[in-house]
Amino acid sequence: MNFKDIFKNKSTMSTDKTDKEIVENEINLPTEENPTEENPSVNGATGVEPEVELTLEQQLEADLTNEKDKHLRLFAEFENYKRRTTKERIESFKTANQEVLQAMLPVLDDFDRALVEISKSEDKAMLLGVELIHEKFKSTLFSKGLEEVEVRKGDAFNADYAEAITQIPAPTPDLKGKIVDVLEKGYKLGDKIIRFPKVVLGN
């Protein structure tokens, strides 16, 4: 081997070593002797927790609990719906009756006035006939829920149940600040007053 061959072999070995170092430095691959942190799978750490599989019995229990919860919610919603619709139906019925009954109140007032005037005459047959019609008409209205607001002469005035039209000097000391006369009767439907009694107060 001459001098040129020896120089060529050394140059080749140097070049091979240099290329190998460059490749390792650029790729930076982990080796078994020196594992890096950038590849956690080498150390056996995947970063994902394994899923816990339920047994068939546990799955069935979970499904049953779910269905029970849905059933209870549905039952509660249905009960609320029933109560709401029942209340709305009652309110609608009362409102419908209220309009009709309020329209009939002036007719009932006319019957009351007619009875007062007819009772002054001597025609007993006419008085009896009007009384029968009046009672039948009144009982029909009362059967639909109409009630008279009880206000009498001498009662203490209550603005929640009566409407004061005017004040006059009290005829007697005990009527001062109290109801002296009832000009128009009041009526209510259930707990709601649909027409307040109109009264005169003693001053």
pTM for the model stands at 0.54
Report d(CA 32, CA 22) in Å as an integer.
20
Using one digit for the tens of pLDDT, what is the confidence trace for 151-172?
Answer: 999 999 998 999 999 999 988 8
Per-10-residue mean pLDDT, the chain, length 203:
47 46 46 46 49 80 90 91 87 78 93 91 90 94 92 90 92 90 92 92 91
Using one digit for the tens of pLDDT, what is the confidence trace for 117-137?
Answer: 998 888 889 999 999 999 999
pLDDT at position 47, please?
A: 52
Report d(CA 195, CA 148) in Å as an integer.
10
Report d(CA 148, CA 182) in Å as an integer.
13
